[in-house]
Every structure is written in structure tokens, then in C-alpha cells.
A and B are shown apart, each in its own frame.
Chain A
């Protein structure tokens, strides 16, 4: 599975980026850098990832560092899928 591609597609949809997320690279900063990523979008993003990948995120796994960049978000999803 192309995890990075799937994460980008969820990001693009939840944040209404109209395809802009496709230009993101792994070191693109997210939380605090992307104005669209407000608190409602963070929660929608978590729910979107849970639904797309079929895992369940616990409250204590939600940490600012997860949403720091595309790379950290992809790492988080990869870790969830392998655990």
C-alpha cells in the first residue's frame, strides 16, 4: 500500500486543499504551518485516517509531534498499521 499517497489524499480531502497536498514533500511542515489545519481539521484528519486505514487511535497517542510534518504523520500511520 502507498501509505504516503493515502495520507496525502486524506489530508487533501479533509482540508479542502483542492489537490495542493499532492505537491507536499515528506518534510512539508503541517501543524502550525498550514492554516487550514485548525482543531476541527485535526480531529477530522484523525477520524479520516481511522476510517481509511481501519485502525483506532487512542487519546494518549495524539501528540503535537505526530502532526509536525507529512513525514511524521506517515510514520505514525505506518507504526499503527504494523502494531
Chain B
């Protein structure tokens, strides 16, 4: 496997990207663009994303990882990021990888990355397969959990009353708020709040994987409801539940080997006729 790190020219500035290319002389069996999760979840899941990208490349896939605007080594600060700019970055990454290879395209999203991947796929004029890791279904709910980080930080001080309302007020007035070291702009909060995992319009298939710490776990009730709805609408979608830690939020950086295997199996499945 060949690993190449480079900057992708973008507007504004540039985006840091990592390309994992399979060793084989043949054309890759698929191209994958990774769409990362939000803020600290991105940092916590870097290791798993790297392991999965390597495993995919070893299995013959070309994988592009990109740091979105204001994240990692890309241009801008977090406060400069917006939902629309991130969607443009995902589309930029897809266009770049599709210039390198004409094999079928996968968008691999994690958490809020699934919201971005799904919307980016809807906007593209080609079929895209989707791999989801523990998808966030409703951006509004996720924003509430993110804002709660600030509330939680104030708990120890004892004066936490009204913290959430004050944050929302600030955002409504168009001002950024600082949450867990991240300066969240009103624009990004608004875009996230409006995002929802709706039925893919133009996609190929959806492989939906949830991770649970319980060995006997089944798919989350919210996941079941969404998948049933999509299947009824004719969308090809399959779900898998694997046993492992919630590595995107655990205190220590953790791994989930079952997920690495399950993702490859899901991608290599023969699509239904």
C-alpha cells in the first residue's frame, strides 16, 4: 500500500489530504472518500479511521481522507467552518479521486460525517455507495449534545443554570460560542441543526453499521425506524451491529477490530440485483 500526504487546493486555501493507494497494478476495486465526525469525535476516531483506511487499501480500495475546512492541518480555524463549506470539501475530494480512477465511488461517513456524506451524495450526478459508521440521524439533537459540553464543564463550578439558553441566545444573535475549546460559529451551528439523514436520492446501496458495547446488541430503535422507512421507499440498505467500544467518545483512544472486518465485508458484498 502506498501512502501519500498532500494539500488539495480549495477555496479558501487548501485542504490536507491523505491518499491510501493499493499495491496491485490493477485498477482499484473501488474509490473511498472518508467524511470525518465533528470536533473532538474527529480526534478520538483518527486512529480507527487510519486503521480502516489501511485495511481498505490492503483489500484493493483507493482511500482518500481529507481534513475539512478549519479542521486538522487544513486552512482556516474551526470558527471559519460552515456546513456548506464542508459539503463543498467533500465534493472536492470526490471529484479529485474520480479523476484518478473511474472505479465506483464510496462515501464513508462517521457520525455527523454521515449527514455530510449523504447530502453530498444527493448533490452528485453519479451513483454513490454509502458506508455509515454509527450515523447521527438528526443534526439538531447532535448540536444539543455538543452545546451540553459547555454545560457539563460548568457543573463542577455549581453555576450551570441558564447556560444552555445563554448559548442559544448568543447563536441566535449570530455570535460564535466556545465549546470545549472549539469556537462554533452561528453559521455552522445553523447548518448542523438543519441537517437530517434523509432518504438518499441518487445513491447505490447503503451499508449501515452500529457499534455497541453489548455483545447481544441489536440495531438502535431510531436506526430501525429509519431503515424500515428507506427500505419501504425502495432503497437498498443493510445494517450490521458489531461489538466494541464507542471509540469516538471514550476517555482513552480505543479500537474496534470487529468494525474493521465488518466494514470490509459490507463493502465486498455482492449488491442485490
A interface with B by C-beta (< 8 Å):
13-16, 31-32, 36, 38-44, 46-47, 51, 59-60, 62-64, 67
Q: What are 6 sample pairs from A and B whose C-beta atoms fall under 8 A apart?
A: A14-B249, A39-B152, A39-B153, A39-B180, A43-B148, A62-B152
- Among B122-130, B232-240, B250-258, which stretch is in contact with chain A? B250-258
Decide if A43 touches B145 in the complex (CB within 8 Å).
Answer: yes
Q: Which residues of chain A come closer than 8 Å to B153, judged between CB atoms?
A: 39
Interface presence of B2 (CB below 8 A) = no
In the bound assembly, the distance between CA atoms of A36 and B249 in angstroms comes to: 12
- Give chain B interface residues in 139-172, CB to chain A under 8 Å: 144-145, 148-153, 155-158, 160-161, 164-165
**Interface pair A16/B148, CB less than 8 Å apart:** no
- Cα A64 to Cα B154 with chains together (Å): 8
In chain B, what residue has the closest Cβ to A15?
B251
Which residues from A are CB-within-8-Å of B145?
Answer: 43, 47
Is there an interface contact between A14 and B250, defined as CB atoms closer than 8 Å? Answer: yes
C-alpha gap A1/B36 in the complex (Å): 37
Q: How far is the CA of A47 from the CA of B245 in the complex (A)?
A: 15
Q: How far is the CA of A43 from the CA of B268 in the complex (A)?
A: 36
Once the chains bind, are B149 and A39 in contact (CB under 8 Å)?
yes
CA distance A42 to B157 in the complex (A): 14
Taking Cβ atoms with an 8 Å cutoff, the residues of B that contact A are 40, 144-145, 148-153, 155-158, 160-161, 164-165, 180, 213, 220, 245-246, 249-252, 254
Please determine whether A13 and B155 come into contact, CB atoms closer than 8 angstroms: no
Asked if A36 and B251 sit within 8 Å, CB to CB, the answer is: yes
A63–B155 contact, CB under 8 A?
Answer: yes
- Measured in the bound complex, the distance between the Cα atoms of B155 and A60 in whole Å is 12
**A40-B40, A43-B145 known; A64+B249 contact, CB < 8 A:** no
Residue of A nearest to B213 (CB): A13
Most buried by A among B164, B220, B251: B251
- Please tell me if the beta carbons of B220 and A51 are within 8 angstroms of each other in the complex: yes
Closest chain A residue, CB of each to CB of B179? A39
**List of B residues within 8 angstroms of A14 by Cβ:** 246, 249-251
Q: Is the CB of B250 within 8 A of A16?
A: yes
Chain B residue contacts of A32, Cβ below 8 A: 156
Query: Judging by beta carbons under 8 Å apart, are B152 and A16 in contact?
Result: no
